Every structure is written in structure tokens, then in C-alpha cells.
Amino acid sequence: MNWKQLVLGTATVTLLAACASTKPAAVTSNTAPAATANQGVAPADTGSSNQGQLNADPLHDPNSPLSKRSVYFDFDSSTVKGSDKPTVEAHAGYLKDHADRKVIIQGNTDARGSREYNLGLGQRRAESVKRSLEVLGVKDSQVEAVSLGKEKPKATGNTEADYAENRRADILYNGE
């Protein structure tokens, strides 16, 4: 009976060790989280020089979570929605790893409301995203929050979908 337990225990430890040895390969990759989702496709489709370019500039890789540059808000709200937290987290990770990079958060509103009210709401939205980045470890000196109010709409219509598209804070890197 003891011999059986020893063999089973050894087999279990061996299997666990074998499983553990395959995971560090994914961990040693220094790519963004979205790049690991394409890990199986990228080597076959692109050369190693293209792979290096994607790693060098994830801000312009459409498969990277950093390609999302807008955080959206509910009507008359400046609270970052749960659905947009991964976007904020991705940018926080990038900014922490690239202390020389700076961003401007531009708070925007839909067309409803007075100019003054919308400027204030846009500022609260920009500050909300800035605070979220700082809570995640980004330095205050890397982030500037400004309000554009209703002056820079993405959508120009008057439907609820247009209004929702305009209730946002845009993340712009180094004057983009």
C-alpha cells in the first residue's frame, strides 16, 4: 500500500511540475495582455522584426488594449464605469512602465446643458480618469486633466446614441 501511495504521489508531483514548466514561457513574454491573445497567430503571420515593432509601440497596435483611448460615462456622471476600467488599467500599466510618457485627459460632454455646466462636468470626468490612473500607480506629473465640455463632439447627431458617444474622456499621449 505504501508503495502505491509513493508512486501516485510522485506521479502527481511530476504532472504538476510539468504543467508549471509550460506557463513561464507565456510569462517571460514582455508584451501587452492583448498581444498574448494573438501569440499563436503572430509568429506565423509576421516576421520577428514586425513583432518587435508591435512591442516597441503598443499605442498604435489595433490589437492592444491601449488602442482604446476613450472612457465613457453615463448621463450627468463622472464615475468611471466598470466596463471601462480595463482601458484605464491598460493605460496605467503602460504609463508606469514608461515614466517619460505623459497624457492629457480631455473631458467631454454631450450637447445638452449650458456651456459652463458642461465645462465643469467635462473637468470632473477628466479628473475622475486621472484619479483612477493615479490610484493604479501613475505619477501625478504624467497626467493633465482638461475639459472641452461640448466643444469637441465625436458624434454630431441628436440621438441618445450620439449623446452617449460624446459623454467621454479621451486619453491623448504627448500631444496627440
Classify residue 31: in a domain, yes or no. Answer: no
Report yes or no on 141 lying in a domain.
yes
What range does the domain containing 167 cover? 65-173
pLDDT of res. 58: 86
User: pLDDT averaged over consecutive 10-residue blocks of the chain (176 residues)?
Assistant: 50 44 40 41 42 62 93 98 97 96 98 97 99 98 98 96 98 84
The reported pLDDT for the residue numbered 60 is 85
| Nearest-5° Cα angle at 138, 60 to 86 | 55
**Within a domain: 39:** no
Please spell the DSSP secondary structure of 105-121, one letter per residue. EEEE--S-S-HHHHHHH
Residue 169 sits in a domain of what CATH number? Answer: 3.30.1330.60
What are the Cα distances from residue 28, in Å, to 25, 31, 89, 149?
5, 9, 20, 43
Task: Tell me if 8 is assigned to some domain.
Answer: no
Residue 17 lies in a domain: no
pTM comes to 0.68
Residue 34, domain member (yes or no) = no
| Residue 156 domain flag | yes
